[in-house]
Amino acid sequence: MSDEQEVLYAEDGHVAIITLNAPERMNTISPAMTNRLSELLIQADEDGNIRAIVLTAAGTRAFCAGLDLRPRSPDAPPASNGNSSTRLYMRNMPPAVMTTIDTPVICAVNGAAAGYGLDLTLGADMRIMGASGRLSTTFLRRGLVPESGCTWLLPRLIGWEKAAELLMVGRTLSGEECVEWGLARKCVPDEELLETAVSLAQEIALNAPLAVQAAKRMMRMGQEEPLQQHMHHVYMQLMALMRTDDTKEGLAAFLEKRDAVFTGN
């Protein structure tokens, strides 16, 4: 199976749906797949028609059981970028890409997300769990630490103490427990998972896309800067938005008591 077949890309209106497609090996992710996933995330972010991204996986056994550590066959086809190299560059890892692109990412978690799979889910802006979904933090039981963002993302998502318990005890949370711990928006039956995630993405897509992107960008910057500096940056973003067609449309629609029609301009 080629890299393109192992990471699928589809569009539903203004929503991009990216699917890990290696269920026969529990969607363990190879270096070529991580590169392809990063390429597709950036492609969606640069596509003016796409306003939200849903990341999911084929099957219900595992969303992603970690890195695929099998040796690459010497006669395997080249990676999707035409380069036979499948080296991993940390700055291009999908969890890092998801946090740096401005398009919102929703992760629909079907099955277990363990190891690298956990890092993938944490890189998204929101998570929805299927009934089969589980988040596993058992790195330390293997003598390892999370290498792709978990130790940076998890304390910011749920606070230091909860993150410390999850990692240092090595818990595996069910879908419902993920909601209770503040790691997911909701838990739904597996057969409703993708529809629920896409529906949420479509709700996001109804808003002015440039404003949505600015909001994510400001939230990201706000994690690292003092309040007064952040307020200055938000003001500069607001001034830029005020010159856009979408802001004019949004204000006009409010005054005229109608739904706004945004174009992303």
* pLDDT tens figures, 158-186: 999 999 999 999 889 999 999 999 999 99
- Tell me which residues of the chain have a pLDDT lower than 70: 1-3, 70-91
- Long-range (24+ apart) CB contacts under 8 A made by 179-182 are 179/129, 182/157, 182/158
**pTM metric for this prediction:** 0.89
Packing angle of the helix pair 209-222, 227-241 (nearest 10 deg): 170
Residues 57-80: tens digit of each pLDDT:
998 789 999 888 766 555 554 444
**Which pLDDT does position 90 carry in this prediction?**
54
**Which pLDDT does position 93 carry in this prediction?**
85
User: What's the CA gap between 260 and 265, in Å, rounded?
Assistant: 13
- In this structure, are residues 128 and 190 in contact, taking their beta carbons and an 8 Å threshold? no
User: What's the CA gap between 53 and 8, in Å, rounded?
Assistant: 13
